[in-house]
Amino acid sequence: MTVLLLEFTSTWCNSWPSLEILHNQRQIFSGMVKEQLRLEVALSPSAHNVVELRGIGKQQGANNVWDTRINAAGQIIEDKTLAIQRVELNGIDMGTKWIHSLSAPDFSYGVWYGNSTVSIEFTEPVMNWIIAAKFADDVNADTVKYNSYNSKFNYDVLKKRIQHIRQQINDQDSSL
Amino acid sequence: MIKTLVCNIPPLDTSRPPVAGAILCAVCHSQGHEVTARDLQWQFNEFLAQRNLMSQQFDAVFYDTALRFTADQQAVVDEFIDQQAGIIAVDNYQYIVISLFSYLAQRFAGSFIQRLREFSSAQIIIGGPGVTAISFATAENQFAESLLSQNLIDCFITGEAEYSLPQYFVAGTGAGINNRNFRQIDDLDSLVSPNYSYYNFDHYRSPTGRREVVIVGSRGCVRSCTFCDVAKTSPRYRYRSGASIAQEIIANYEQHGVREFYFADSLVNGSLRAFNDMCETLAAYQFDEPIAWRGQYIIRNQKTVPQRHFELLARSGCRELFVGIETGSDRVRWDIGKKFTNDDIEYHLQGFEQHGISCLFLFFTGYVTETPEDHQHTLEMFPRWQRYVATGTISAIETLNILSILPGAPLEQQAREQGFHFETNRDGTANSLFWHNPRNAALDFPERLRRHLEMMETAMQYHWPIWNGELSLEIFQRALTEYHSVAANSRPPQKIIALKNLA
C-alpha cells in the first residue's frame, strides 16, 4: 500500500479553485481548495498507478466571466490559482525540483493558471520509482569515467560487465 | 632574489588548484624566494585542447598503470614535455620544486625530469606522496633513489615539506632530505597556509561549477583501521585548531571568492574538539553567500553525539560527508577497528536527513573475517536504508576497493601472526591481493569477487546510486585475470616474504 500526501495552496477570484483527484480513474477527492488543502490518502494497491489532478474550474471568459482581475495599470489584483506545495509518497518528500518538472497546459512550476489535468504516474516498488524520479534524470552514459558525477545509475553497463565477469569465473571453474 | 618554480605533475584532479603546490609556494615564499607556479596538468589539458585531443583518453592511461600510451599519444606527451622543459629553462630558475601527488605521477615525472635536466641548470627537488608511494611495479618503491643515483634530481623530500624544504635550502641535508627518516611536525597551527594566489582560479572548476580549494585540517588518522596504511606515512595523528581551519576557509572566501571546500583529512572529525570549534566559527561568520564543505567523516557511538551536532554541521556549511561504512556486519566492522554499529549509522542518518546533509557510503566486500552471514548483513543494508537514498541523504555508494593486505597496515601483522598464505607472483613475491586466511578458508579471491558482484546487484535492485561502479568492475575484472594467471603458476602459495601491492 502506498500513502500519498498532497499539499496545495490557492488564491481566490470570484470563487476558490476546484480540484478533482483520481487514482487509477477512481475519484479520491473532489472539492474547492480554500487557501490550503492537505490530503493524505492510502491508495489501493496497484503495480501501475496514475494519479490525475484536475483543476481548477477557472472561468476563462465563459458567460463573460474571467477569474482574473486586473487594475488600470494592467497589474493582476486577483486571480484564481492553485499551487502544489508538497507531494509525498510513503513519507518521502518528492521535492520542489520534481514538482517543477511536472508539466501540463496552463500549468508551470507547480501552479495552475488555467484548467488542465496534471498526471503523476508511478510504479511499484514505489521506493525504486521515487529514487529514479528524483535522482536518475542526471544519467548520462557518455559521462567521462574519471569525472563521473552523473553516472551513478549507469546500471545497464554495470549489469553487462557483471555478467561478463560471472562468465569468466564460471569458465575458470569449469576448466579446473 | 632566489627564483623558484613550483610544478605539479599529471595526473591530477583539475576541479581545484593543487593544494600541495599552494603549500610549496607558501613555503618557498616564506624563505624569501621569488616564486612561480606551473600546474602541468592544466598546461597539458590546454596543450591537448589546442590539438583537438581529448584529455580523458590520456587520463585513462595515466590512471591505469596496466595501460600504455599508443605511439601517437606518446608522441604528444613527448612533445608536451619538450615544450614545457624549454619554456621553464628560459626563466633561469635556481630551484625547481616538483610535487608528485601519487605514484601514478611517476611515469610522467620520470620523462619530464630527464628532459628538464637537459634543458635547465636549476636544482631539481621532488617531493610529495608520489615520491615514495608503492606502485604496481615494485614492493618497495625506489623511484626517488633511482633518480638521485642517476643525477637527474638534486634532492628528494619525504614527509612534510614545511620542515624539510627550508632545511634543504639552508643546509642541503637533514631529516627527510634524500632519506626516508622524515620528521613529523607537531604544531600544525604554526605552518604557513596554502597560498593560492599563484594559481588562476578560472582554470579550475568543481563539479558544481564553483571555485573550490582543498583544506588540510589534520595529518594522520585518529583511528587505526586494520586495512589502512596511513600510519606508515603519518605515524602520529596531529590536527590544527578549529579556529585556524575556519580562518583559512574564511580567508579563501574573502580573498578569492571560494565557496566550496574539500577536506583532504583522513577524518574531518578526528578531533571532535577542533571540529566543533571549526563548525562553531563557520556557523557564526557572516558569509554574504553560503559556503559548502565536504570531507571524510567517522561515525561515532551515538551516545557521544548529541542531536545539536547535526544542526551545527548544517549551519557550518557541511554539504556531503564520505563515510567508511565498509560492511553491514557489526562484527566485521568491529574487527576492522571502526568502532561503530548499524544502530549508530541509523542514528547519524536520521540526523543527516533532518538537517539536509548527504553522505556517500564507502564499502568493500570480503574482509578477512567475513562469513556468508556477515555478507548477508551487508546485503540487508540496501532495503533497510533505501529510504535514505530516496530522501537524498545517502547520495551514493562507492565500492572501488578490493581488500589487499598493504605493507605497513595493521592487517599485515595480523596476516603474519595468523599464517595467511598468498599466491606467488612470477618474481617470487607474495601477491598482497590474493591472500588466503586459514581461519576463513572458503573466502578465496573468486568468492570475494562473487560477493562483490552480489553486493552491486543488490544495490541496483534497490536503486542505490553507485559511484565509480564501472571503474570498480574494471579493476575487479583485471584482478580476476591476474588471479587466474597467478593461480596457474605451479609454485605453492607462500607465507609473507615480500608483498607486491596490486590495489
Comparing CB atoms, the residue among A95, A128, A172 nearest residue B462 is: A128
A176 touches chain B (CB under 8 A): no
Is A21 in contact with A30 (CB distance < 8 Å)?
yes
pLDDT score for B495: 56
Cα–Cα distance between B480 and B470 in angstroms, integer? 15
Whether A127 and B473 lie within 8 Å, measured CB to CB: no
Q: Which residues of B touch A159 (CB under 8 A)?
A: 457, 460
Whether A174 and chain B come into contact, CB under 8 Å, resolves to no
Decide if A168 and B460 are in contact by the 8 Å CB cutoff. no
- Nearest-CA residue of chain B relative to A90? B387
Say which range, A122-126, B10-14, B123-127, B149-153, has the weakest mean pLDDT.
Answer: B10-14
Rg (CA), chain A: 23
Distance CA B201, CA B215 (A): 16
**Residue of B212, B262, B389 to mutate when probing chain A, most A C-beta within 10 A:** B389
Nearest to B456 among A132, A135, A162 (CB): A162
Average model confidence (pLDDT) across chain B: 91
The reported pLDDT for the residue numbered A137 is: 63
CB contact under 8 A, B446 and A173: yes
> Is B480:B449 a contact under the CB 8 Å cutoff?
yes
CB contact under 8 A, B390 and A161: no
Cell of B231: 600510519
pLDDT of residue B245: 97
Q: Give the chain A residue whose CA is nearest to the CA of B470.
A: A158
Candidates B288, B411, B358; CA nearest to A152 is B358
What average pLDDT does the segment B16-21 reach? 95
Which A residues 57-96 touch B at CB under 8 Å? 90-93, 95
CA distance B98 to B160: 14
Chain A residues lying within 8 Å of B391, measured CB to CB = 92-93
Are B469 and A164 inside 8 Å of each other by CB? Answer: no
- Answer whether B67 touches A (CB < 8 Å): no
ipTM rounded to 2 decimals: 0.89
Most distant CA pair in chain A, distance: 89
How many residue contacts between A and B have a Cβ separation below 8 Å? 94
Q: Which three cell numbers stand for residue B356?
A: 539536509
**Per-residue pLDDT at B133:** 67
* pLDDT for residue A100: 96
Instruction: Please tell me which of the candidates B386, B462, B473 has its beta carbon nearest to residue A158.
Output: B473
Nearest Cα residue to B404 out of B424, B370, B433, B434: B433
Work out the pLDDT band at B503, boundaries 50, 70, 90: very low
CA angle in degrees (0–180, nearest 5) for B272-B276-B277:
120
Asked if residue B8 lies in contact with residue B97, where contact means CB atoms within 8 angstroms, the answer is no
Q: How confident is the model at residue B258 (pLDDT cuts 50, 70, 90)?
A: very high
Cell digits of residue B232: 606508515
Comparing CB atoms, the residue among B390, B469, B476 nearest residue A154 is: B469
Residue-level pLDDT at A170 = 85
Closest CA to A115 of A49, A76, A71, A68: A68
Query: Which of A115-124, B100-109, B126-135, B239-248 has the least mean pLDDT?
Result: B126-135
pLDDT greater than 60 at residue B127 = yes
A3 touches chain B (CB under 8 A): no
Q: Which of B59, B453, B474 sits opposite A166 (nearest CB)?
A: B453
**Which amino acid belongs to residue B56?**
Q
A152 and B467 in contact by Cβ < 8 A?
A: yes
B467: which chain A residues are within 8 Å (Cβ-Cβ)?
A: 148, 152
CA–CA separation, B462 and A109 (whole Å): 30
pLDDT of res. A139: 45
Tell me which chain B residues have a C-beta less than 8 angstroms from the C-beta of A157.
Answer: 470
| Backbone angles phi and psi of B143, in degrees to 5 | -55, -50
- pTM comes to 0.88
Between chains, do B473 and A165 touch, taking CB under 8 Å as contact?
A: yes
Q: Which residues of chain A have pLDDT under 50?
A: 139-150
Upper half-sphere CA count for residue B471 (Cβ side, 13 Å): 19
Whether residue A175 lies within 8 A of chain B, CB to CB, comes out as no
Percent of chain B surpassing pLDDT 90: 75
Cis-peptide, bond into residue A56, ω within 30° of zero: yes
Q: How far is B103 from chain A (nearest CA, A)?
A: 17
Which residues are paired to B500 by β-bridges? B431
Could you read off the pLDDT of B34-92 as tens digits, one per residue?
999 999 999 999 999 999 998 888 887 888 777 789 999 999 999 999 999 999 999 99
Q: CB B469 to CB A91 under 8 A?
A: no
pLDDT value, residue B373: 98
Determine the distance in angstroms separating the CA of A144 from the nearest CA of chain B, rounded to an integer. 7
Residue A174 parent element (H or E): helix A155-175
Three-state SS string over B270-321 comes to: CCHHHHHHHHHHHHHCCCCCCCEEEEEECCCCHHHCCHHHHHHHHHHCEEEE
Dmax over CA atoms of chain B, in Å, equals: 68
Segment B241-257 mean pLDDT: 96
| CA B30/CA B23 separation, integer angstroms | 11
Answer whether A39's CB lies under 8 Å from A5's CB.
yes
Residues of A in contact with B477 (CB under 8 A): 161, 164-165, 168
Residues with Cβ within 8 Å of B443's Cβ and at least 6 positions away in sequence, in order, are B366, B368, B370, B437
The arithmetic mean of pLDDT across residues B331-336, rounded, is 96
Cis ω before B11 (30° cut-off from 0): yes
Q: Min CA distance, B251 vs chain A (Å)?
A: 28
Measure the CA–CA gap between A164 and B122, rounded to whole angstroms: 52
- Cβ-based contacts of B382 with chain A (< 8 Å): none
Mode of pairing for the β-strands spanning B421-424 and B430-436? antiparallel
Average pLDDT over residues B454-458: 96
As a whole number of Å, the end-to-end CA separation of chain A is 50
Inspect the interface and report whether the beta carbons of B474 and A161 lie closer than 8 Å: yes
| pLDDT digit string, tens, across residues B369-418 | 999 999 999 999 999 999 999 999 999 999 877 898 888 889 999 999 99
Q: How far is B295 from chain A (nearest CA, A)?
A: 16
B390/A131 touch (CB, cutoff 8 Å), yes or no: yes
Q: Tell the burial category of A35 from Cβ atoms under 10 Å away from its Cβ (0-12, 13-18, 19+).
A: exposed
Residue A142's pLDDT is 38
Pseudo-torsion of CA B231, B236, B241, B242, nearest 10°?
30
- Closest partner residue to B457 (CB to CB) among A90, A91, A162 is A162
- As a whole number of angstroms, the distance between CA A30 and CA A18 comes to 8
Q: Which residues contact A62 (CB under 8 A, 6 or more apart)?
A: none
Nearest CA to CA, how far is A50 from chain B (Å)?
20
